[in-house]
């Protein structure tokens, strides 16, 4: 009995730890009550969830507490963070002029090492912080790679600014040629994506308009980044769009280190942008 209970607990732990990567079947998103605001001292409230239909709350919350970066690069706390059965919600207090970032970034480490002639895989839940304690002292041939999933949205009070888009080099990041809070129906936007700080060709970019529940066709736009890591997206209608960037290929295969080869980190990026009527 005890054994079986432990097994269940372990299993539950696995499921939780795996959520950031296995929720691919369910789309993760954060939607802000407004993305473009005027005046000063505004509050914006945000829902955060993983769901099938965009943007309807039909599955699980994103329970991680997001980080807010102010237009001048300061990190502030979200207010009133509450995690419900199906969605999390929180408020962001905008006290500066310019563009804010709200982000949930999951960073994990995958990899292998050899111990006594046997190749072993790092357990799930390994991070840069706990990597040292998870590798036995007698391990050799340690090979690791980073898994980074980035879920970010942007909110602008006043005129848009670009300071928050300085790349950190971790995971897939957006460098906007067109500001994500300056999007209008019928116009196109150019976004550049960096993988570990470098413009990367061949990333898969999927944009899907919200409101899926009330139409038959998904209306997804599927693009690949060009040699400069750029894609151009033309917004057919005003509304919210889910924009997801992955490395392409078979996701399950990517998740595991190739047998005999070095492990390959898996990176993804997701945002929700608001396209205004022109």
Partner 1 sequence: MTQFRLTGMTVAALGTGVLLPAGAAAQTMDLTVAIPRLSVAEYHNPYVAIWLQQDGAPARTLAVWYDLDNREGGTKWLNEVRQWWRASGRSLRLPASGVSGATRAPGSHRVSFTAGRGGMPALAPGQYTLVVEASREVGGREQLRLPFTWNGTAVANARAQGRSELGLVTLSVKR
Q: Which residue has the tokens 């839940």?
A: 125
Helices (H), the chain: 2-22, 131-134, 251-255
**Shortest distance (Å) from residue 38 CB to partner 1:** 4
User: Closest approach of Cβ 161 to partner 1, in Å?
Assistant: 11
User: Judged by CB, which is closer to partner 1: 182, or 255?
Assistant: 182
Of 254, 28, 29, which Cα lies nearest the Cα of 147?
A: 254
Q: Residue 262 and residue 205: Cα distance in Å, rounded?
A: 26
Region near partner 1 per CB under 8 A, out of 33-41, 49-57, 124-132, 228-236: 33-41
Judged by CB under 8 A, the stretch of 1-9, 36-44, 99-107, 128-136 that binds partner 1 is 36-44
Peptide bond into 237 cis (omega under 30): no
Given the complex with partner 1, which of 4 and 38 has the nearer CB atom? 38
Surface-to-core class of residue 83, CB atoms within 10 Å of its CB (0-12 exposed, 13-18 middle, 19+ buried): middle
Residue 236: count of CB within 10 angstroms of its CB:
14
CB of 36 to partner 1, least distance (A): 5
Q: Is 102 in contact with 76 (CB distance < 8 Å)?
A: no
Nearer to partner 1, 69 or 99 (CB): 99
Q: Is 53 in the site for partner 1 (CB under 8 A)?
A: no
184 makes contact with partner 1 (CB under 8 A): yes
Task: State which of positions 151-180 bind partner 1 (CB under 8 A).
Answer: 158-160
Could you give phi then psi for residue 64, rounded to 5 degrees? -65, 140
Q: At 8, is the secondary structure helix, strand, or coil?
A: helix
Shortest gap between Cβ of 185 and partner 1 (angstroms)? 11
What is the longest distance spanned by two Cα atoms in the chain?
65
Nearer to partner 1 by Cβ, of 179 and 230: the residue is 179
> Is residue 182 a contact residue for partner 1 (CB under 8 A)?
yes
Cβ proximity of 145 and 121 under 8 Å: no
Q: How far is the CB of 99 from partner 1 (least distance, A)?
A: 11
> Measured from the CB atom, is 125 or 239 closer to partner 1?
239
- Return the residues of window 81-120 that contact partner 1 according to CB under 8 A: none
- Residue corresponding to tokens 């971790």: 170
**Given the complex with partner 1, which of 72 and 228 has the nearer CB atom?**
72
Question: Which residues of the shown chain bind partner 1 in the complex (CB under 8 A)?
Answer: 36-42, 158-160, 182, 184, 276-278
């Amino acid at each position: 009995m005890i054994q079986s209970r432990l097994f269940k607990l372990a299993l539950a732990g696995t499921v939780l730890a795996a959520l950031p990567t296995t929720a691919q079947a369910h789309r993760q998103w954060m939607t802000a009550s407004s993305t473009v605001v005027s005046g000063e001292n505004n509050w914006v409230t945000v829902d955060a969830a993983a769901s099938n239909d965009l943007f309807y709350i039909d599955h699980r919350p994103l329970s991680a507490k997001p980080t807010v970066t102010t237009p001048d690069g300061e990190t502030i706390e979200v207010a009133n963070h509450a995690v419900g059965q199906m969605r999390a919600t929180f408020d962001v207090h905008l006290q500066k002029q310019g563009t804010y970032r709200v982000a949930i970034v999951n960073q994990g480490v995958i990899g292998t090492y050899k111990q006594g002639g046997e190749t072993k895989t790092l357990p799930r839940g390994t991070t840069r912080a706990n990597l040292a304690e998870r590798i036995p002292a007698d391990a050799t041939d340690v090979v690791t790679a980073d898994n980074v999933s980035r879920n970010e949205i942007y909110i602008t009070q006043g005129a848009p600014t670009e300071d928050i888009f300085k790349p950190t080099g971790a995971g897939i990041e957006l460098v906007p040629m067109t500001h994500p809070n300056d999007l209008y129906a019928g116009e196109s936007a150019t976004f550049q994506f960096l993988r570990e700080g470098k413009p990367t060709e061949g990333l898969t970019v999927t944009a899907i308009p919200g409101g899926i529940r009330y139409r038959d066709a998904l209306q997804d736009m599927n693009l690949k980044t060009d040699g400069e890591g750029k894609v151009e997206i033309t917004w057919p209608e005003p509304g919210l769009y889910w924009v997801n960037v992955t490395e392409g290929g078979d996701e399950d295969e990517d998740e595991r280190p190739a047998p005999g080869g070095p492990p390959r980190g898996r990176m993804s990026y997701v945002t929700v942008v608001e396209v205004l009527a022109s």
